[in-house]
Amino acid sequence: MGKKTNVAIAIAAVTGAAWASSKAISKPRSRLNHEALKYEQPIILAHRGGMALAPENSPISFENAAKLGVHGFEIDLRLTKDEEIIVFHDETLERVTNFSGKVADYTLEQLKVADLGYHFISLDGEHSFRDKGQQIMTLDDLLELYPQMLISMDIKDSPQTYEGSLMPSKLWRLIEEKQAFKRVIVTSFYDEQIDRFNLYAQNNVALGAGEREVLKAYTAYTSQFKHLYHPKADVFQLPIKSNGFPLDHASFIQFLSSLNIPVHYWTINDPVMMKRLLKNGAKGIITDRPDLAIEALKLD
């Protein structure tokens, strides 16, 4: 054998020894079985209330989705100038309302006259919710109105902002006040926000996975060191692809499931795709079209 061959064999031997050693020392730890995630059948979460059918995050969108029979809602959270938590996605107001500027520059009282239906056009394109007065909702209102629903909430304010620095503690206090521990999921694209929220929650609330946690899981899944991955999330809410990497393989879903982590996919509006993901092992579909999702699950 040549020198290169000997080096390759040596490297393989060292790698194999490292793998065997780490396998013996590190044992995968499954996540807690939170009450919010105990469901027998796959679930449907209406994305922002079902934003293809009614103005996003509006009272009428949540009402429509609830009547259709969804299991819950997937929403976004922002903090107002007077530190109230509202159900709203964008940092600014102009895309969906008749207001402009940042959410954080307005008090809740000022935002009450903003119309969520101002720019909305229905699927048939023949009418809109303009001037219908669809008001911005607080998280407090949503929790109060739908005690039977699972609500997955995404902290949108960056931890580097004043609003973001307050959000984890404010959110925990509200969940504690409402005793909503068993019916919410708290997540964020910012792993730091999830970590900071959990300093208060102490694992008493189901946690989603931030971008860094998803990367850690996917890196472990594609390596020989799956056993070294110790999850910090109770549920993964994923797109089908991220940065060109496919996240919808049945084997990836199974890897997470083996750690007691269900997987929900967003934002899925194609019934064929819904059925494929459920067949691969997904436990939840987050959709703008809850009407189509309900029918897809009936036929599945």
Residues facing 238 on adjacent strands: 265
CA dist 207 and 220 (Å) reads 20
Q: Give, to the nearest 10 degrees, the angle between helix 250-257 and helix 271-280.
A: 50
CATH number for 30-89+137-299: choose from 3.90.25.10, 3.30.420.10, 1.10.1740.10, 3.20.20.190: 3.20.20.190
pTM equals 0.89
Looking at the chain, how many residues does it have?
Answer: 300
User: Residue 188: what pLDDT?
Assistant: 98
Q: Please name the amino acid found at residue 238.
A: L
Mean pLDDT by 10 residues, the chain (300 residues): 48 42 50 87 97 95 97 98 98 97 98 93 74 89 98 98 98 98 98 98 97 96 90 97 92 96 98 96 98 85
Contacts of 32 (CB under 8 A, 6+ apart): 203, 234, 260
User: Residue 69: what pLDDT?
Assistant: 96
Q: Which of 221, 175, 237 is nearest to 200 (CA)?
A: 175
Q: Which of 174, 94, 86 is nearest to 136 (CA)?
A: 86
User: Residue 21: what pLDDT?
Assistant: 44
CA dist 163 and 171 (Å) reads 12
Token reading at 65: 């989705």
Q: Which of 162, 151, 247, 157 is nearest to 194 (CA)?
A: 157
Token reading at 159: 């931890």
